[in-house]
A and B are shown apart, each in its own frame.
Chain A
Amino acid sequence: MSNHLIRTIDGAVVNIVDDVLAHHDATSDRALEILLQLRDRLGGITDDVLVRVADGLKLSRAELYELATFYPSVRYHPTAVATRAAACEDLVCALVRSPHSAEEREATRDESYLCGGSACRGRCDSAQDVVGTGSNVVHADKANWRTLESYRSAGGYGYVERLRRGDVDAADVLAAIERSGSASSVVRKWRAVRDQHGEPVVIANASEGELGTFKDRHILERDPHGVIDAALVAIAVVGARRLIIYLRDDYDHLYRELQQVINEMRVAGLGADVEFDLRRSGGAYICGEETALIASLEGQRGRPREQPPFPTTHGLFGRPTLVQNIETLYRLRAAWGMRVEASLPVTRLLDPAVRIFSVSGRVCCPGVQLMASLPNIAALIAACGGMTEGEELGGVVLGGAAGSILTAEQCRLPLDDLLRAGIRIGSGSSVIVFAQRDDVRWIAAKMAAFLARESCGQCTPCRVGTSKMAGMLAGGPLDPVLMRSLAEVMREASICGLGRSAGQFLAGAAERLQGSAECR
């Protein structure tokens, strides 16, 4: 209990800590970004660093410890700095890397059903590159985005200029968006934020974290200015002065890219009166959820907040907040005349009929697919070059970690039929393809393990529910009645979408696996 012990800390480390603190004005809402920058420079956070940062931010050690242990990207360990991140153990990489026959599953069944290795890093489209090397990060990343000059010559940032000059006003913009047939929720949100008292803030949500989803990464790798252009229009319409780009920490190549992009703009005098704030997520899937995202920007743990109130009225530090994801922003520009360019395939997203899918798993060419029409899931697999050699289609996981597990037959059904049957496509349009020889229960267990790990832990139905669910699916006889009870309480009583959709997933899994040999 002694408060008198003097802790000794390496002098060089002290300088780095103090330097980072000074750069951020030592304000506690930047705690996560501060810890991430220290992680970049030191490799990880240990106790001596944590204590010094806490003192510098006037946070209690407990508060900072909560942040350090909540956000895996911080790489906190009391005494040792982690040497290397382990290979991804989540569904796609695990599926592709280690073919899982029923016999092998039996042989490796163990108590720790949770993922042992590292979490998904959004490189599911290069999972097969991992085999033998242990890391799939290096290969996939390219730094080849469309330059500012090229973007402007295609008409980019033109509309923002017109707004600035007063040629068009906010009402014109909103009307244009409405006419273009974009999601009506966009106009509703923008209006709500605009009408609210208090200075708004706009957040571009680039923290896509859904399992098997990498479309936003794809967009940002190719045409980042398209996203920022739309964000600046949003800023002008809602009357904000600050644009926060909340970037998935795993996309470190995009962190470097966006820093350069923003610099390009500064040099060109674009967005001069806007404060650009590039912030990284902490590696928690839940921070894709708006209120958890906002919490992490406030220096809190990423725990979703009950709505109402909605972020549009009561968001970041209680201010009206507009959160838009990357795809929505990119597509929005069709409303004010930005057109598809044949030379840049990603611009096809400006056509509202075109849908974007992230396809991974046992296909020849995993990656992003832009499809103007999609009769059925099988067509998507064909577009990716079909199944990998020697594999027969077993089915797909549609919609991410809490998504639906479709049979091969269902993949051949028209999409409308699926929708009518209540199958959800999900927001991330993630499609994970598996083979006939892959064990569906194993897949379900992997999905459950992901959810259990990523649950923020705030409420009992999700925290305990996802854990129990993962345990149920991992091994032992299945008890569909118990699974349905658990699904019910998770659906009904969880605070946020993770818990609720996990419950839905469990109900679906119970039905799917019922009748299999393993049920009670």
Chain B
Amino acid sequence: MPVVSLHIDGRTIEADENTTVMDAARGAGLQIPYLCACDREGYTPIAACRSCLVEVAGEAALVPACRRKVAQGMAVTTRNDRIDNVRRLVVELTASEMGEVEFAGQTSTTFGRLARSLDVTATRFGFDAVVTQPDTSHPAVVFVADACIRCGLCRVACQDVQVNGIVALAGRGTETRITFDHGRSLGDSSCVSCGECIQVCPTGALRSGAGVAGRMPAELTIERTAETICPFCSVGCRVELGIAGNRAVIARGADGPANRGRLCVKGRFGFDYLAHPERLTVPLIRREDAPKNPELHLTGADVLTLFREATWDEALDRAAAGFLKVKEKHGSARLAVLGSAKSASEDAYVLQKLARTVLKTSHIDHCTRLCASIPPLTEAIGTWTVTLPFSHILEADVALVVGSNPEVNHPVAASFMKNAVRRGTKLILIDPYRQPFARHAAYHLQLRPATDVALLSAMTHVVIAEDLIDHAFVSQRLEGFDDLKARVSAYPPEVAARVCGVPEESIVGAARLFAKAPNAMCFWGMGASQHAHGSDNMRALIALALVTGQVGRRGAGMHPWRGQNNVQGSCDVGLLPMCLPGNRNISDAGERAFFERLWQTDIPGERGLTVVEILEAAAAGEMKGLYVSGGNPAMAAPDLAMTRRALASLEHLVVQDIFPTETAAFADVVLPAAALAERSGTVTNTDRFVQLVETAVPPPGAARPDWEITCEIATRMGARWNFDHVGAVFDEMVRAVPALAGMDWATITRERQLQYPLSADPSNGGSLFATVFPAIGGKARIAALTNGSPGELPDEQYPLILVTGRVREHWHTGSMTRRAKTLDALSPESLVHVSAADFARLDLNDRERVEVLTRRGSVRLPAVCDERLQSGVIWMAMSFFEAPANDLTTRHLDTLTRAPEYKFCAARLIRDESKNIGSDNQT
């Protein structure tokens, strides 16, 4: 990019050719005033507020600095009598569009600061005399029309940046006004509460409704700010918390490598869970008279009644002693550890170290098992991560998205995907649900549930038949092509069209589009993996990507979305039954030897059981002791009836968490942990960014960081570790995990984020495997399929297909988000979604209470009609303890990944005939 030199107020400065005058000035330390400008990614100049006007020598008219690009030799003046006078008049005129009260309230806003800097305290043009009631119809976002200056920033935020399309700047002339959808109030609109508009509004006309702490921000005084990483999904947004009285009261998007200042509804409005009264603050020991009853579904305060308070020493002694007792009486193989993908990597590392070196068990797992979208990629190319960051979609010509609803589950990432679509990236969506995201798709292949293998195989068939394969890649970098060709020969597009219910020309068109793209990416999610044949789905997709050579370049690669904020980190450090830290094969003696040297003790060499297998073993009396840290299997595991029986049957269960979860109801010892924002450590997002977390607010009561608690238990069981601070854990972790090579605590503390592998070629922007797949000897492998199918098909008795998933406002078991006031207000109850045809057939009314039954259990909840669903399919979210979806799901596991089939089981739906007013579904 050529550099030009220009003069601003007599100073000569240099800037890239494509820079605006405002940015060039800012780069030289001079901030030109503005109202409607935003320098964050995705925002383009609006130039409507006219606050940034400057003089350019040789031009008679004033010029907006936010929009005008620099030019060689340009001479800019930012202050003189003319400019100052005009600017002052502009601000005076702007103020006159406000109500007098709202103008007076501009204490901490951009506009308020600008007005004060120009000494504008009143307006000769008169304030707006008409008083409009604020729109408070929406729990999260409030619109105060009397403070609006129609700058249009909120519109850009909603239409262009987050691409949610709700904010309208309607009308013209003085009738110009902000409204929502087609003139609706916020409460009636399709606003998804991302809060981007709140973050950018220069006057606070759009403001947080309940705020993080349930108060209007106008009444809050922020004492300090601190950064943290969002604890919800794997995008890993950097968040700036506004803190008052040591409580997080407001959240803004900070400039993290993944989010670039954006947030979604959970990151924006979800932090008040930190201060919820049900936070665990002291260690608890189960009362002698509190039996473990699997028939009871307890959560929250009800769980606490089963326990008495204890000191840390008593509780830790009890925890350690219990494990020792099981170990001596039953053996190490009867001990298991279920960690979390939500805590820091240091917590997970220490936990698996405890398991292997102290408990001497390999039964180590965490909720990654329940998603498990990586293993087929490992099988194919030897990687345990995505091959490129999601942001590469901005460089991709085509994106193929299978079994994923990014607007719901990775909303901030989805906003970048939508930006890419607007810039020309073509989207191919494979999903039985006509998700709103499909409005951006060139192809939405709305296939029947569980027919992905046929569809993807047909696409591969087309690619091979029409000779659209990447010949160089196939011949030099791939094994198994001939077998693949033979396999997909059974799937010409007309066959798949029948099986999948998708038009043949769409299958062919999508295949050609993907194969011919210079650079194409694949994304996949739970829709692909959470099936008994999930790995087949993913293998079929990976095969398509490989034969078309769509890997290894900028904008070309495979991105199996990581789910939780630190599932990548937890996996990397070995919180898995088949891997030692660094994804090393536990069965390999050499790898084990390395760790025995590192840890100065012997470790077990057989691979352990996975989550559901551990629970099944417990239910069968073959697992006796369990340490659950941060996970919540009593809500998250499939077939909760079995899960509760399993947990109740344990001799010794230690639960370490921030809330008294459904799992804690079965514990012998409950240990209070610090939440992510209350301690330091590192978490790794879906893009392989290791991000630093530092203490933003202190933990409540006696709660402590997870790794500290685990170390205490280890010490009491004889271990002699000396991790005196979390950095020491990090430094040992780096020795154990090759992916982290080159990092150390000092560096990560200074840099705040590092993308691994550090040795990667920076010119590829984080996209790996440009030439070889080193972990498996160079060539990718196409795996055979198992030809599996769903474990339980619909039949006469249970004629509907039940699919479970998540809503945007809640995270997984809801232990955190149901306790965030605004999130719960936005999504207060579980609803079963029924297709329009079935809704009519069953003659249901909107929100009528129904009962959904499967062979595992039944759940009562309201039903809503959803015209995006195919007939025969019903859907519900997993996050509501009053209507736990996993009471219904099956334990059919995928053969490779052992992920449960959350996305498919047989169900029946009837009207709720029970007259039971005090049913367990009351909120």
Do the beta carbons of B86 and A488 come within 8 Å of each other?
Answer: yes
Q: CA separation between A485 and B910, bound complex, in Å?
A: 72
Residues of B within 8 A of A70 (CB): 170-172
For the complex of A and B, 10 pairs with smallest distance between CB atoms: A60-B165, A457-B176, A62-B168, A489-B89, A65-B182, A69-B170, A61-B182, A493-B50, A467-B174, A455-B173
Residues of B within 8 A of A59 (CB): 165
Q: Mark B86-127, 1 if CB is under 8 A from A, else 0.
A: 100110011011000000000000000000000000001110
Do the beta carbons of B182 and A2 come within 8 Å of each other?
Answer: no
**With A62-B166, A65-B181, A482-B124: A459-B48 Cβ-Cβ less than 8 Å:** yes
**With A60-B159, A65-B182, A493-B90: A460-B175 Cβ-Cβ less than 8 Å:** no
Q: CA separation between A50 and B183, bound complex, in Å?
A: 11
Do the beta carbons of A65 and B179 come within 8 Å of each other?
Answer: yes
For chain A residues 3-17, which have a beta carbon within 8 Å of chain B?
3-6
Q: Say if the beta carbon of A257 comes within 8 Å of chain B.
A: no
Q: Say if the beta carbon of B6 comes within 8 Å of chain A.
A: no
Residues of B within 8 A of A1 (CB): 138, 187-191, 826
Q: CA separation between A453 and B836, bound complex, in Å?
A: 45
Do the beta carbons of A489 and B171 come within 8 Å of each other?
Answer: no
10 A-B pairs, CB-CB below 8 angstroms?
Answer: A6-B836, A6-B865, A50-B182, A65-B179, A457-B150, A457-B175, A460-B90, A460-B93, A463-B176, A493-B62
Q: CA separation between A428 and B3, bound complex, in Å?
A: 45
Q: Say if the beta carbon of A284 comes within 8 Å of chain B.
A: yes
Do the beta carbons of B182 and A466 come within 8 Å of each other?
Answer: no
Q: Say if the beta carbon of B180 comes within 8 Å of chain A.
A: yes
A-B contact count (CB 8 A): 160
Interface magnitude class on chain A: 35 or more
**With A65-B183, A489-B90, A493-B50: A456-B159 Cβ-Cβ less than 8 Å:** no
Residues of A within 8 A of B190 (CB): 1, 3, 61
Residues of B within 8 A of A5 (CB): 846
Do the beta carbons of A461 and B90 come within 8 Å of each other?
Answer: yes
Q: CA separation between A172 and B200, bound complex, in Å?
A: 55
Do the beta carbons of B149 and A460 come within 8 Å of each other?
Answer: yes
Q: CA separation between A60 and B162, bound complex, in Å?
A: 13
Q: CA separation between A273 and B149, bound complex, in Å?
A: 48
Chain B residue at minimal CB-CB distance from A492: B86
**A interface: dominant SS:** helix
Q: Which of B94, B171, B865, B866 contacts A457 (CB 8 A)?
A: B171
Q: Say if the beta carbon of A64 comes within 8 Å of chain B.
A: yes
Q: How many residues of B contact A (CB 8 A)?
A: 60
For chain B residues 264-287, which have a beta carbon within 8 Å of chain A?
none
Q: Mark B47-85, 1 if CB is under 8 A from A, else 0.
A: 111100100000001101001000000000000001001
Residues of B within 8 A of A301 (CB): 172
Residues of B within 8 A of A453 (CB): 173
Residues of A within 8 A of B61 (CB): 492
Do the beta carbons of B439 and A6 come within 8 Å of each other?
Answer: no
Q: Say if the beta carbon of A47 comes within 8 Å of chain B.
A: yes
Q: Which of A461, A463, A495 contacts B173 (CB 8 A)?
A: A463
Residues of A within 8 A of B603 (CB): none
Q: Which B residues contact A (CB, under 8 angstroms)?
A: 47-50, 53, 61-62, 64, 67, 82, 85-86, 89-90, 93-94, 96-97, 124-126, 138, 149-150, 152, 158-159, 164-176, 179-183, 187-191, 436, 439, 826, 833, 836, 846, 864-867
Residues of A within 8 A of B49 (CB): 459-460
Residues of B within 8 A of A455 (CB): 172-174
For chain A residues 434-454, which have a beta carbon within 8 Å of chain B?
452-454
**With A1-B189, A457-B150, A492-B62: A62-B159 Cβ-Cβ less than 8 Å:** yes
Q: CA separation between A78 and B188, bound complex, in Å?
A: 15
Residues of A within 8 A of B53 (CB): 492-493
Do the beta carbons of B174 and A452 come within 8 Å of each other?
Answer: yes
Q: Say if the beta carbon of A51 comes within 8 Å of chain B.
A: yes
Do the beta carbons of B170 and A467 come within 8 Å of each other?
Answer: no
Q: Say if the beta carbon of A264 comes within 8 Å of chain B.
A: no
Residues of A within 8 A of B89 (CB): 485-486, 488-489, 493
For chain A residues 478-498, which have a beta carbon within 8 Å of chain B?
482, 485-486, 488-489, 492-495
Q: CA separation between A461 and B165, bound complex, in Å?
A: 27
Do the beta carbons of A457 and B172 come within 8 Å of each other?
Answer: yes
Instruction: Beyond the given A69-B172, A467-B174, please list 5 additional residue pairs across the A-B interface where CB-CB is below 8 A.
Output: A4-B865, A6-B867, A460-B94, A464-B125, A486-B125
Do the beta carbons of A62 and B867 come within 8 Å of each other?
Answer: no
Do the beta carbons of A2 and B864 come within 8 Å of each other?
Answer: yes
Q: Which of B150, B175, B181 contacts A62 (CB 8 A)?
A: B181
Distance between A237 CB and nearest chain B CB, rounded to angstroms? 30
Residues of A within 8 A of B152 (CB): 458
Do the beta carbons of A489 and B86 come within 8 Å of each other?
Answer: yes
Residues of A within 8 A of B62 (CB): 492-493
Q: CA separation between A5 and B865, bound complex, in Å?
A: 8
For chain A residues 41-71, which have a beta carbon within 8 Å of chain B?
47, 50-51, 54, 58-66, 68-70
Q: Say if the beta carbon of A306 comes within 8 Å of chain B.
A: yes
Q: CA separation between A284 and B176, bound complex, in Å?
A: 14
Residues of B within 8 A of A114 (CB): 174
Residues of A within 8 A of B182 (CB): 47, 50-51, 54, 61-62, 64-65, 68, 78
Residues of A within 8 A of B191 (CB): 1
Distance between B423 CB and nearest chain A CB, rounded to angstroms? 13
Do the beta carbons of A467 and B188 come within 8 Å of each other?
Answer: no
Q: CA separation between A468 and B170, bound complex, in Å?
A: 20
Distance between B153 CB and nearest chain A CB, rounded to angstroms? 13
Q: CA separation between A361 and B825, bound complex, in Å?
A: 62
Q: CA separation between A495 and B45, bound complex, in Å?
A: 13
Q: CA separation between A5 and B181, bound complex, in Å?
A: 15
Distance between A293 CB and nearest chain B CB, rounded to angstroms? 15
Distance between B105 CB and nearest chain A CB, rounded to angstroms? 19
Q: CA separation between A64 and B181, bound complex, in Å?
A: 9
Q: Which of B50, B159, B166 contacts A459 (CB 8 A)?
A: B50
Q: Say if the beta carbon of A465 comes within 8 Å of chain B.
A: yes
Residues of B within 8 A of A482 (CB): 124-125
Q: CA separation between A50 and B168, bound complex, in Å?
A: 14
Most A CB contacts (10 A, CB to CB) among B150, B169, B187, B826 go to: B169
Residues of A within 8 A of B866 (CB): 4
Chain B residue at minimal CB-CB distance from A286: B172
Most B CB contacts (10 A, CB to CB) among A51, A65, A485 go to: A65
Q: CA separation between A494 and B169, bound complex, in Å?
A: 19
Most B CB contacts (10 A, CB to CB) among A2, A59, A306, A493 go to: A493
Q: Which of A54, A63, A78, A489 contacts B93 (CB 8 A)?
A: A489
